[in-house]
Each structure stands twice: as C-alpha cells, then as structure tokens.
Amino acid sequence: MIALALVALQIAAATPGRAATARDRVTPREPVVAAVKHPRLEGPERTVVVDAGHGGVDNGMSGPIGSANPIHEKDVTLAVALKVGRALEARGVNVVYTRTTDTLINLYDRGPIANRAHGDLFISIHVNAANPRWKDARAARGFETYFLSEAKTEDARRVEAMENSAARYDTGDPVSKGDALSYILSDMQQNEHLRESMKLADDIQQDLGSVEPGPDRGVQQAAFVVLETAFMPAVLVEIGFGTNPQDAAFITSPRDQNRIAGAIADAAVGYLNTYWAGVSGVADRVNGGKP
Ligand SMILES: [Zn+2]
C-alpha cells in the first residue's frame, strides 16, 4: 500500500506557500550546545508544535528492565520536549506545546491542537521499550524517527501498537477516528505531507546521530494516531530505549537531553530553511534503502 502512496506523492503538486510575514527576532539566547552549529530560522515566521508523549495517568513505558527506581516515559518526554521548544525558540521559531505539565492530553486531541495552532511542523517525542519476550530485551537500544504511513516491519508494528495504545486513556468525546491509510491515500495534500514528513524524519534522524550513543535504527514508518490527526509534516521520535540502562541514563541526563533537543531543533530549523527545496532521494533511504 505504501507503494501506491509513493507513486501518488511523486505526482503531488508542491504545497502552496504561506504568505511571508516580517518577523522581528528578539532572541538569540544562549546556545544549547556551544560546539554545534545552530542554524537560525530564515524566511517567514514558522510555528513548530512539540508534543511530549503520554502524561498524567498515562506513564508510557517504564524502565530500565529490572530497575528498582524506574523512569517513566511521560517525564522524559516532557523534559525533552520543553528543551526542544527552548532550543527552537533560541533559533527564532515559534513553539506551541501540546502539554507543558504532567497532564493527560487525549491522543486524538494532540493533532487538532497542532492544527488549531497552524503549526508548520509537528514533532512528537517518545521513549522506546523492548518487548520483554525478546531474547535479550534489556540490551536493545538506539534511536529512530517515524513518519506516518503503513508499518512495514514487525518492529514498526510493535512501536505503532505501543504508542497507539495510549488512546485507551482518552476521555470525553473522541473526534473522528479515521483510518490512517485512508488519509494518506485519499488526499493529495496528505501525500505531500507524507513526502515532507519523510524528509523531516530523515533530517532529525541524521542530526540525532551526531549526539546519540546509538545505534542508529533509521527512519521508520508506522500508522501513529498522533501523526494521523496533524495536517502538517509530522514525525515521532523515539529518542532511546528506556528499557536499556545505558539509554535510560542518556535520555534522563539533563545535559544529554539538551544535546538531543539541540539536534532535533537544528534539524527542524534546517528543514524549515530548505522547506521548498526538492526532497528527492529521501525515499530511497527509508527502511535502509530497501524498496
Ligand atoms: Zn510513547
């Protein structure tokens, strides 16, 4: 089915540009990581929506495996999301958060928050968890960045199911819960977002590679609810495995959280600065270049 989508997106017309507005930048502030280049936003005003996964009664994953004092995904994602936001603001970007405190935001409400804010990009921050049935689950580690599409691998389906299961905490009247693939295949603009999301995911994954201890698990695709409802280029970043002691230490260290945030912000701003440039070649690198 993704082949259909890819064919469709190849003929999708370019997204019409938004009117440029003059922007008086009152930053810059302290760079997050002094040794790394920090592109400033060029061109028109942009808004990035930063989504801290889970929250409130939804802890997300907990780890590391066997730990007496487990970390909770919701706390890590909030800390990192706030740092991503600050790093983006320091680079001249408007930031909107889906949450800034330990509170539950319905999974199906997160995209609409981004839509109402007229976000240009949507970045959802999450922490991965190994399947406890894996042979050496505690050893699994690494970072990966997803865009919205049909999951193509067993591992992507695992992450998709894990993250989408947060919908069980949703309260109140749900908004439309359409099939993710129907969005992708039925609408040319969504196809354009798919292509742009692939590029954004690729940029983020590359920049994360300069700060993450690894391994680089690559750009992946899965049908995440949280991405399905955001009508803009949208990605979900699994910054590491909370089930692994080394990854857990990395993603909970404030210093390393700043490095993660700086890398994501650099990638997002770099992406925005070349938003209208061609994105050919990205598809070839998705899923390790396999057709
Ligand atoms: Zn998550």
How far apart are alpha carbons 53 and 126 in whole angstroms? 5
Going from the Cα of 157 to the center of ligand 1, the distance in angstroms, rounded, reads: 13
Burial 105-133 (b: 16+ CB within 10 A, else e): bbbbbbbbbbeebebbbbbbbbbbbbeee
Q: How far apart are the CA of 133 and the centre of ligand 1, in A?
A: 19
Residue 14 Cα to ligand 1 midpoint, Å, equals 32
Q: How far is the CA of 81 from the centre of ligand 1 (A)?
A: 13
Q: What is the mean pLDDT of each run of 10 residues along the chain (291 residues)?
A: 39 36 40 62 92 98 96 98 98 97 95 93 97 95 94 93 92 58 48 85 97 96 89 95 98 98 97 64 39 36
pLDDT for position 1: 42
What's residue 82's pLDDT? 98
pTM above 0.85, yes or no: no
Question: How far, in Å, is the centroid of ligand 1 from the Cα of 39?
Answer: 28
Q: Rg of the chain's alpha carbons, rounded to an integer?
A: 18
**What is the CA(53)–ligand 1 centre distance, in A?**
5
Instruction: Tell me which amino acid residue 258 is.
Output: N
DSSP letter (8 states) at residue 163 = H
DSSP 8-state class, residue 138: G
What residues does each domain of the chain span?
A: 45-279
Whole-number Å distance, alpha carbon 61 to ligand 1 midpoint, is: 7
- The reported pLDDT for the residue numbered 149 is 84
45-279: what CATH class? alpha beta
Centroid of ligand 1 to alpha carbon of 187 (angstroms):
27
Distance 35 CA to ligand 1 centre (A): 30
Q: Given CA atoms 53, 93, 223, 189 in this order, what sign does their dihedral have? A: positive
CA of 162 to the centre of ligand 1 (A): 7
